[in-house]
A and B are shown apart, each in its own frame.
Chain A
Amino acid sequence: MDLEADMSHAGMAPVFGEAQEVAPGQYAGSLDIAMPGDWVVLIHVTLPDGRTQEREVSVAGVTAN
């Protein structure tokens, strides 16, 4: 399972990562989001039969630590 995070603004650097299966049906991964703002996380899933699926999760208002 591949992870990709994009900012809402075009031209900004996307962030890539991977999620690993930590329990049956549960995946965990991390993304190093470098800039505050609105982000969208794209989850690219490749199924065992080779088909691909994609899900979008909006992560608005990310602030600096």
Chain B
Amino acid sequence: MQVLGLRRLFHWRHLRTVLQVPLLIVSVAMILDGLLGPSLAPKNLATTLSWVHFRGALVLVMLCAGNFFCLACPFMLVRNAARRFFRPRWNWPQKLRNKWLAVGLFALILFCYEEFSLWSSPRWTAWLIVAYFLAVLVVDGLFKHASFCKFVCPIGQFNFVASTISPLEVKVRDLEVCDSCGTKDCIRGRRVLGPDVVVIQRGCELALFQPLKVGNMDCTFCLDCVHACPHDNIGILSRLPASELMVDPRRSGIGRFSQRTDLAALAIVFSFGALLNAFGMVSPVYALERWLAGILHANSEAPVLAVLFALFLVVEPAVLLGLAARLTQIWGGSQRALVPLAVRYAYGLVPLGFGMWLAHYSFHFLTGLYTAVPVTQSAAARWGWSVFGSPRWTWLGVPMRYVQPLEIGFLVLGLAGSLLVIHQLAERDCAERPMRAFAPWATVAVVLWLAAMWMMFQPMDMRGTFLAG
């Protein structure tokens, strides 16, 4: 599919900067308002834009298009500016060339969100954004290429996994053109030869060689490869959402999904974390926390949360995936060992996890859609700009009665996607009796979906701490 004008737009070399600059300005405004503005979260730019608008817009853009938030990432704008002065000297350590660190950081962010009630704290939210800028500068100031994006950034990892569901992908138009290409600029960068070789357009910093790239995993949509390709043979093209989860070829810069335990762990934290994050917002979580606190004799939330996180992100996946893998061995006659089986099918839960993130974040986004207006008006007035008028605090968003059916739709879509992926994997594994391999994993997906549906019909309850009552 070709959309007139878009091809030219994506080839415009300043597109990324034009998208990044407004987001950088917004980020700075969020930091300033978070640190200096009102402490009440609904009145502050940092909390409102981070936890209502950014997250919601991100998952909706993922659903409808692709990883355009990484394309517009303001952290990379600052990094690129800093790299004009400081050239990184080292390669990212070999032992850390995997997703384990990022999985840990992703889980840590989810933990901090609950522990420090980030949704209700403009100060903590502002410091988190500051920490992000500093982390980018330190990591990419020391290490070459896009080490931060590929191996560290928790938001990036979320985007990589979520974008496997997206309908758009950066990919090669015609592989035969690549076969005859002698320069491989998409990965090496476009160079001018002379006494000193000068790179005038860098290639992929995330080590994704376009002809062998499959899907959106690890792709930041930075468009470096699009600009570097001398044959205009790379574009943002449409595809079947989640199709990359149904196949297991050797992927450039990644390898085979089925051999990447760290990637599977990321997919598991993504999928089960979606349920955990939503569970933190409904009434039953406080009863569970109080019960756990009684058992642990805990007076603070941290140890209780640690146990909850261990239960939801480690024990529950281990039990469910372990059982499903064992049943696949028994019923399906699979010759694979338990862990490789669990790794292979863990990716099948990604659509369901994404459906849960989508239902959760789009709820906040849509029900609080217009709150960006009064919060911006209020912040502008505090900074002496009264051009926007007095804040219209009654501006909210789409009524809940319209949003809830949409949430159910997202969850059903997620379940359907997971069942489809699992079925495709089962057909490839057990061509003669795919239903026997399909059934255990489909059961896991349905159990998780039922849990998500149950959660959605629980009364919402947003407290900073369960100790409040």
A9 with B40, Cβ < 8 A, contacts A4-B393, A61-B468 known: no
B43 within 8 A of A: yes
A10 within 8 A of B: yes
The reply to whether A11 and B51 contact each other, CB–CB distance below 8 Å, is yes
Kindly state the separation between the CA atoms of A40 and B393 in the bound complex, as whole angstroms.
15
Option from A6, A13, A35, A60 in Cβ contact (under 8 Å) with B43: A6
Residues of chain A having any CB pair with chain B under 8 Å? 4, 6-14, 16, 35-38, 40, 42, 56, 60-61, 63-64
A35 with B462, Cβ < 8 A, contacts A10-B41, A13-B396, A61-B469 known: yes
The reply to whether A11 and B463 contact each other, CB–CB distance below 8 Å, is no
Kindly state the separation between the CA atoms of A61 and B120 in the bound complex, as whole angstroms.
14
Kindly state the separation between the CA atoms of A6 and B122 in the bound complex, as whole angstroms.
15
The reply to whether A9 and B462 contact each other, CB–CB distance below 8 Å, is yes
A38 with B462, Cβ < 8 A, contacts A10-B52, A11-B51, A11-B367 known: yes
- A8, A9, A60, A61 interface centre (most CB from chain B within 10 Å): A9
B156 within 8 A of A: no
Kindly state the separation between the CA atoms of A56 and B42 in the bound complex, as whole angstroms.
14
Known: A9-B51, A9-B120, A9-B462. 20 other contacts (CB 8 A): A6-B40, A8-B117, A8-B462, A8-B464, A9-B42, A10-B42, A11-B52, A11-B365, A11-B367, A11-B368, A11-B397, A12-B42, A12-B368, A14-B42, A35-B459, A35-B461, A36-B463, A38-B463, A61-B463, A64-B459
| Inter-chain CB contacts under 8 Å: number | 86
Q: Which residue of A lies closest to B49 (CB)?
A: A10
A38 with B43, Cβ < 8 A, contacts A8-B464, A63-B469 known: no
Kindly state the separation between the CA atoms of A8 and B40 in the bound complex, as whole angstroms.
7
The reply to whether A8 and B469 contact each other, CB–CB distance below 8 Å, is no
Q: Which residue of B lies closest to A37 (CB)?
A: B462
